[in-house]
Amino acid sequence: MMMGNIETFEGIYVAMYSAYDDKGEVDAERVKQLARYYVGKGLRGLYVGGSSGEGMLQTAEERKLVLEAVLEEVRGELKVIVHVGANSTRESVELSRHAELHGADAISAVPAIYYRLSEAAVENHWQQMIDSSRLPFIIYNIPQTTGFQLSPKLVQKLAAQPKVIGVKMSGESTFDLQQYKVAGGDDFLVFNGPDEQFLAGRIMGADGGIGGTYGIMPELFCKLNEWYEANRVAEAQELQYEINAVIKRLLTYPSLYGAAKYMLSLRGVETGEPRLPLLPVREENHASLAALNDHIIALVAQYSAR
């Protein structure tokens, strides 16, 4: 019997950050070190080149380089979902083909973001990617940045194709999340996007999560997921509250990714600064970020023991 989509892909995926050298160029060795950092932490996989990965701020060649480095380092150990969304369908198709050629596990894309597109235009944009590779496709819904409202009807239509296996739901409505789950039908995955409501998303039907803050506390999200699955909901809620206090602090910095990348550097994982227009953290942020980093490390120790 073939494994179903849910069994194959459910779980926790770090939305992986970019890794640049000190001049801001993609650094394959640093990409590999970052990917390696996530092995052995209980994760199902990595989501490469999405919002956290700054795929939208990189050239197609740079995005290919990043994916190839990740796959060389962790293929077989972690599942690799790659975001291939770009402003032109042509570029997305090129990235989809590249992803298949190099052995990624699935592709995923946001709608094109500059033009106000009709539902028909977005559908066609995604369909071209779906048709250009044999890989499973995961819709990336993030209306607060793209302005595109994904209808359950479009989910239902796309999900009728075996290759369309899920949606990454970064919108905040858990009702919409649940409606996508229903629209997708049997064996259709929904991934929770907003890390702050991971537990709520799971309760409303998410099969796992893909998140931008998991990258600095993957162990906590794996534990949260484990406790939800074991029906330890009161403890899961307590942990979600701890996580949310961390996220609330993170969101006070010049950029979330700048703060996260600085904390990784304190753990010996160098990834450079985020690419402009995303702001790096400033010197005056360093001390409080070091304190936040210590706090996360203490939480991981505390919760891993339970």
Ligand X SMILES: CC(=O)N[C@H](C=O)[C@@H](O)[C@H](O)[C@H](O)CO
Active site residues: 140, 168
The answer to the question of residue 212 lying near ligand CC(=O)C(=O)O (CB under 6 A) is yes
The answer to the question of residue 210 lying near ligand CC(=O)C(=O)O (CB under 6 A) is yes
The answer to the question of residue 178 lying near ligand CC(=O)C(=O)O (CB under 6 A) is no
Binding mask 163-182 for ligand X (x = CB under 6 A): -------x------------
The DSSP H or E segment spanning 232 is none
Among 5, 33, 52, 174, binds ligand CC(=O)C(=O)O (CB under 6 A): 52
Q: Which residues in the 78-137 window bind ligand X by CB under 6 A?
A: none
What does each C-alpha distance from 55 to 48, 63, 84, 272 come to in angstroms? 8, 6, 8, 15
The answer to the question of residue 212 lying near ligand X (CB under 6 A) is yes
Q: What is the Cα–Cα distance from 93 to 78, expressed in whole angstroms?
A: 24
- Diameter over CA atoms, the chain: 57
Find the part of the chain contacting ligand CC(=O)C(=O)O (CB under 6 A) among 45-53, 65-73, 144-152, 262-270: 45-53
The answer to the question of residue 50 lying near ligand CC(=O)C(=O)O (CB under 6 A) is yes
Among 85, 194, 205, 215, binds ligand X (CB under 6 A): 194
Closest C-alpha among 133, 148, 136 to residue 45: 136
Q: How many residues bind ligand CC(=O)C(=O)O (CB under 6 A)?
A: 10
> Residue 210: exposed, middle, or buried by beta-carbon count in 10 A (0-12, 13-18, 19+)?
buried
Cα torsion angle, 18, 22, 24, 28, sign: negative
DSSP, res 44: -
